[in-house]
Amino acid sequence: MSQQAAQVETLFLHEHGEEFRVAAHRDGERLFHGILELKETDAGPRPRRLRVKDGTSEELRSPDQFVDLARRAARIRISEQTAPRARERVREMLDAYQIEAKVVRTCRLCASDGRYSPITSETAIETDDETICPECARQQLDRELAFKGSISGDARDRLEELLLEVQDLDRVTNLLSGQLDPDLTKFDEISATVDEVDPVRVDSLDLHPGMQDHLESRFDTLLPVQSLAVEHGATEGRDQLVVSATATGKTLIGEMAGIDRVLNNKGTMLFLVPLVALANQKYEQFQDRYGDMVDVSLRVGASRIADEGGRFDPEADVIVGTYEGIDHALRTGKDLGTVGTVVIDEVHTLGEDERGHRLDGLISRLKYYCESGGAPDSGDTQWIYLSATVGNPGQLADQLRATLIEFEERPVPIERHVTFADGREKIETEKKLVKRAFDNKSSKGYRGQTIIFTNSRRRCHQISRKLEYSSAPYHAGLDNRKRQRVERQFADQDLAAVVTTAALAAGVDFPASQVIFDSLAMGIEWLTVQEFSQMLGRAGRPDYHDKGTVYMLVEPDCSYHNSMEMTEDEVAFKLLKGEMEPVITRYDEGAAVEETLANVTVAGKQAKRLNDRMVGEVPTKHALGKLLEYEFIDGLSPTPLGRAVTRHFLAPDESFQLLDGIRKGQHPYEIVADMELRDEH
């Protein structure tokens, strides 16, 4: 005992009923602990005995041994949590032996377990009307996380970081139930940035009088990205890749160039987008803005079956179309007239697994069409590519043979918030966020409105029904009339929120102040950093709002399909900290065969040249070999089977499954059901 006493740096005492816990420490490690009993004497309280703990057993020590231990200890500390009467008893006992002791603030949980853990105002963590040390707070947080389910290292690190920052365990654990504490949910803020660009005066432009007058009636000067594009030849026929944040005015660059060339008899303007919903909205906008100057037509994917009311006119001055709608026209030999300008919106789609190769093929086939007589006599077709999110803009501009116009201004700041909730709690949180936004107006007089992104159409309707303020689902399953009504109601501020899937991510123009991620998945795939950036960029418009707000509602240990290797909490911090992915078009065998077949169908013997100039690397020799093996081509001409496959955008395995079902005499519904089941697996 005397040897132990010589080694003790700190002897710690803490009230334990009518007794005291005693712990001896050296270098932060506990040497031993036990229970000290006191007795009352005529001279005051004195030690009766010390019971030293050893696992589940105890070893008795005499009063003299305790006194010897106390005298040899470098310092003696009494827990502040000890009741005043008990504290006075132990101090009176120590004073009798001329042993000094100080009262210190310690962690009650540590003290109750016989550990000395002093805390200060900088380290104390508040919980349940008491203060505990950071280590005990971490342990309690871990128990809460275990109750909620597994949680990733990044999410746990974030919660620990907040715990040490705000020093309040209850506030932090409340985040796990979807509580909205702005100081804690806020992850970061993307500041508004302004690049210095000398604005181009609209009256200095040398455009066709019709377009010139139209622009002068709307603006005095061009926005910065528009000014940069004009300075680098956008209105002089130069091909450009324009990369700039959402709401910085990219679309007008394509409009200025394309409408001006139409009015100067330099060919039709094609404005191409990835989704029907976006095509419908652009069509309506172009009708409103330019319908008195030019004829505007619409060609979407559905046009290959029915013409949606006869809105497609191949001889129109301006054709707004989906990628698939225009590609179908090329694959089936339709005449698109003389094309003067092609604007490809959302060109980062080139990097998507499912649609990237089809856009790559479309661009190559459309260039071939223009070069083969579909370009104006007065000059080549002008190509303008638009995107808000490209990780490798210089490389992509080189591959597209276009001048890069890159502008990094963000018109308004965006706050990004993270909180944790399960599926039921998410909807309650969304109610609060939508209400809070809609109940407040910006300095420009507009109510806050919300876009909620989720991963299924069914969930869109479920959320919309439960929101207290007016809202509507918005997805590709709605007909055009319903989508237009939602767009109009949102624009008129009659809706507090729209709940959508990927339909809005691609750029449908809703002036929202707030974006909520109900899910970080689209369908059964996690979002990429690029998709996430594109979607959060919808929050905050300079003409409407003072800032944008983004909320990620994250369910720990959640995934939406058994093919997902990560959980939602892991994905959340990957997206928040991730760098933008480069736009790279990758070809597996199926994609190479599909695009090569389409190029053979459109260009015959020139198919290899079309393959060679695509953004992605296409294994042409191997693909042609497979096409011959599958009997999709005869020489360098498509067979009737090959034409049917390419006009319906079928991958090889899909076409074989269809053929197998037809040969077996299956009902068409059965064939479709089998194909859907195959996609599920």
Q: Could you say which DSSP state residue 378 is in?
A: T
Q: How far is CA 406 from CA 227, 390, 581, in A?
A: 12, 10, 16
Residue 610 to residue 363: CA distance in whole angstroms: 9
* Confidence grade of residue 234 (pLDDT, cut at 50, 70, 90): very high
Cβ atoms within 10 A of the Cβ of 664, count?
9
Structure token digits, residue 119: 């805390």
The pTM is what? 0.77
Q: 330: closest CA among 382, 359, 366?
A: 366
Is the pLDDT assigned to residue 411 strictly greater than 70?
yes
* Confidence grade of residue 504 (pLDDT, cut at 50, 70, 90): low
User: What are the structural domains, with CATH classification, of the chain?
Assistant: 10-113 (no CATH), 125-176 (no CATH), 202-407 (3.40.50.300), 414-577 (3.40.50.300), 589-677 (no CATH)
| Segment 87-96, tens digit of pLDDT | 899 999 999 9
Residue 645 to residue 654: CA distance in whole angstroms: 9
Mean pLDDT of the chain: 88
Residue 471 to residue 452: CA distance in whole angstroms: 10
Is the pLDDT assigned to residue 259 strictly greater than 90?
yes
Q: How far is CA 162 from the centre of its chain?
A: 22
Secondary structure (3-state) at 547: coil
The pLDDT assigned to 151 comes to 75
The pLDDT assigned to 110 comes to 85
246 phi, psi to nearest 5 deg: -55, 140
The pLDDT assigned to 403 comes to 97
Residue 456 to residue 63: CA distance in whole angstroms: 73
* Confidence grade of residue 503 (pLDDT, cut at 50, 70, 90): low
* Confidence grade of residue 678 (pLDDT, cut at 50, 70, 90): low
Cβ atoms within 10 A of the Cβ of 370, count?
22
Secondary structure (3-state) at 427: helix
| Segment 617-672, tens digit of pLDDT | 999 999 999 999 999 999 999 999 999 999 999 888 888 888 888 888 888 888 88
Lowest mean pLDDT among 251-265, 484-498, 518-532: 518-532
Residues 188/409, Cβ–Cβ less than 8 Å: no
The pLDDT assigned to 623 comes to 94
The pLDDT assigned to 305 comes to 39
User: Looking at residues 465-475, what average pLDDT do you find?
Assistant: 93
Element of type H or E holding 452: strand 450-453
The pLDDT assigned to 231 comes to 96
3-state helix/strand/coil string of 492-532: CCCCCEEEECCCCCCCCCCCECEEEECCCEECCEECCHHHH
Element of type H or E holding 35: strand 29-41
* Confidence grade of residue 302 (pLDDT, cut at 50, 70, 90): very low
The pLDDT assigned to 560 comes to 77
Element of type H or E holding 166: helix 153-166
Secondary structure (3-state) at 152: coil
Q: How far is CA 618 from CA 438, 621, 649, 655, in A?
A: 50, 9, 18, 21
User: Looking at residues 330-340, what average pLDDT do you find?
Assistant: 93
Secondary structure (3-state) at 477: coil
User: Looking at residues 360-381, what average pLDDT do you find?
Assistant: 86
> 477 Cβ partners below 8 Å, 6+ apart?
457
Residues 321/298, Cβ–Cβ less than 8 Å: yes
| Segment 177-187, tens digit of pLDDT | 777 888 899 99
